[in-house]
Amino acid sequence: MSSAECSGGLPLPSQLVFTFIASAAYLHPFGLSAAGSAMIGLVVGILVILLGIRLEKASLERLIGAACGAILGTMGALLIGHPLSLTTTEMAASSFLPVTVQ
């Protein structure tokens, strides 16, 4: 058994995609039908696998830099988003502004 297989015999990426499809079909994200939700699960599963392939090719220095950049970017967005949420704007704009900053 290779490292890409689990005890079920299917390759691990296939099991990952199936898990995304099944969970999306069960949870119905965005209020879609089961078939539409399964298609979203398929797309997300394939994107996760492609991201994993791309990350395997990245050097350790780039991964550390990306992690630090993501943490600093999130902290900056929170520092900007919090005062925006305290302003006296209408509710639709008030909930939309922090999301666009992040």
pTM above 0.85, yes or no: no
Q: How far apart are CA 16 and CA 45, in angstroms?
A: 7
Domain residue ranges in the chain: 1-57, 61-102
Q: How far apart are CA 34 and CA 27, in angstroms?
A: 9
Exposure pattern of 33-57 as b/e (b: 16+ CB <10 Å)? Answer: eeeebbebbbebbeeebeeeeeeee
Q: How far apart are CA 66 and CA 76, in angstroms?
A: 15
pLDDT of residue 66: 92
Does the pLDDT of residue 5 top 80, yes or no?
A: no
Does the pLDDT of residue 46 top 90, yes or no?
A: yes
pLDDT band at 61 (very low <50, low <70, confident <90, very high): very high
